[in-house]
Amino acid sequence: MVRALKPSDKFAIANPALAPYGVAAEEALQRAGAGPLAASQKVLGDNIGQATQFVATGAAQAGITALALATAPEIASALQALPLPVHLHTPLHQRMVLLHGASAAAANWHRFLLSPPAQAVFVRHGYALPQ
């Protein structure tokens, strides 16, 4: 995809200095043999959501985003999503903590997120479960 870009085309990723998805995007481009993007072609989002919006609105002709965002009903019709092979970047690990003294509502939410129904939602939206 990157090689098919015209010199005037833009490619959106999250800013690697601010977002883990940006680090993964640069790693994927490198491992895929695309190398670094020309500065004039790279559009950096402050986060993965903003990078996704650059592509969804046409401000960038292509980009790398989270599969869950690319397939979200609100924008899926505006994008053509191709999942990256998992070997192209180091896995991105999401974290969740429950603080000591958390409210009952927070504890219930934490418990729910660990439940099979919630985990099925994560998988349906493109996230892998912890191994």
Domain boundaries, the chain: 2-88, 93-131
At residue 49, the pLDDT reads 95
Tell me the pLDDT tens digit for each residue of 58-79.
999 999 999 889 988 888 888 8
Tell me the pLDDT tens digit for each residue of 88-119.
999 888 889 999 999 999 999 999 999 999 99
- Helical H runs in the chain? 20-31, 48-56, 67-70, 104-113, 116-124
Task: Tell me the CA end-to-end span of the chain in Å, nearest whole number.
Answer: 31
Does residue 131 surpass a pLDDT of 90?
Answer: no
Q: Largest alpha-carbon pair distance within the chain?
A: 55
Tell me the pLDDT tens digit for each residue of 2-39.
667 888 999 999 999 999 999 999 999 999 988 778 88
CATH fourth-level superfamily of 2-88: Periplasmic binding protein-like II (3.40.190.10)
At residue 129, the pLDDT reads 84
Taking the C-alpha atoms of residue 45 and residue 121, their distance in angstroms, rounded to an integer, is 26
Does residue 1 surpass a pLDDT of 80?
Answer: no
